[in-house]
Amino acid sequence: MGLMRVFLDRARAWRPPADPLPSKPDPAAKYYPFINPPKVIAPIRPEDILTPEEVAARLKVPESWVYEKTRARCRNPIPCLRLGRYVRFDWQAVIMWLTAAAAEENATRPGLQKKR
């Protein structure tokens, strides 16, 4: 009985830790603006809506690369507007996506020095 009473007293006195799990940075947080764009955004101008062919031409990449980057399984998907079976792109969102990708790439290689 004495041992059981000790366990019950410990159980009653126990309090969960203030922070049960250590906070880890969300690895997908940097993609949130592209995955779930904010609801209050500037209206998209009709001339900024592009087809995959136009995006490929502006980025100077093959169309197949653009289509591959629109897939959900892609590591860093390009922001796109899906209209049924059609895919369209907001050029301003694509520019933001490129800028974020370039900044991330430069941040991962800080030790490189310029050659003379």
Concatenate the DSSP letters of all residues of 37-91 into one string. --SS-PPPPGGGEE-HHHHHHHHTS-HHHHHHHTSTTSSSPPP-EEETTEEEEEH
Q: Is the pLDDT of residue 95 over 70?
A: yes
CB atoms within 10 A of CB 96: 15
pLDDT one-digit tens code per residue, 28-47: 666 666 655 555 556 778 88
Element (H, E) at 87: strand 86-90
pLDDT at 74: 85
Domain ranges of the chain: 45-106
pLDDT one-digit tens code per residue, 52-88: 999 999 999 999 999 999 998 888 899 999 989 999 9
Structure letter (DSSP) for residue 23: -
pLDDT at 104: 73
pTM equals 0.54
Rg of the chain, C-alpha, whole Å: 25
pLDDT at 9: 78
Number of H helices and number of E strands within the chain? Answer: 5, 3
pLDDT one-digit tens code per residue, 2-24: 777 887 778 777 776 666 666 67
Question: Which residue is associated with the tokens 């093959």?
Answer: 62
